[in-house]
Amino acid sequence: MGMFDFLRPKKNTASIAKDRLRIIVAQERTSRGAPDYLPLLQRELLEVIRKYVSIDVDAVKVDLVKDGDHDVLDISVALPEERTAPA
């Protein structure tokens, strides 16, 4: 355990945390240049996710961050509470 600890909400917000779906796309920035396709990719990834999970576009939070030598696209989706377990 622990490798994906960053996925977990902070302790003090756990009680109000909704279910979340996190999608993280990371690529090293090297000689091939920055992966400037990440913002475009984001929309298509969400379209795919939407086929499987009911998501509200307002509940989507997107960050495009530089973390050391990586460009990281971090998509966080708050899932609607009313959704029932899959059939």
Q: Does 45 bind a second copy (CB under 8 A)?
A: yes
Q: Does 37 bind a second copy (CB under 8 A)?
A: yes
Q: What is the DSSP letter of 85?
A: P
Measure the CA angle with vertex 14, ends 85 and 48; round to 5°.
45
Cβ atoms of 22 and 62 within 8 Å: the answer is: no
- Residue closer to a second copy by CB (options 28, 56) is 28
Q: 8: Cβ–Cβ under 8 A, 6 or more apart, which residues?
A: none
Q: Does 20 bind a second copy (CB under 8 A)?
A: yes
Q: Does 48 bind a second copy (CB under 8 A)?
A: yes
Interacting residues with a second copy (CB under 8 A): 1, 3-4, 6-8, 19-28, 30-33, 35-37, 40-41, 44-45, 48-49, 51-53, 67-68, 70, 72, 79, 83-86
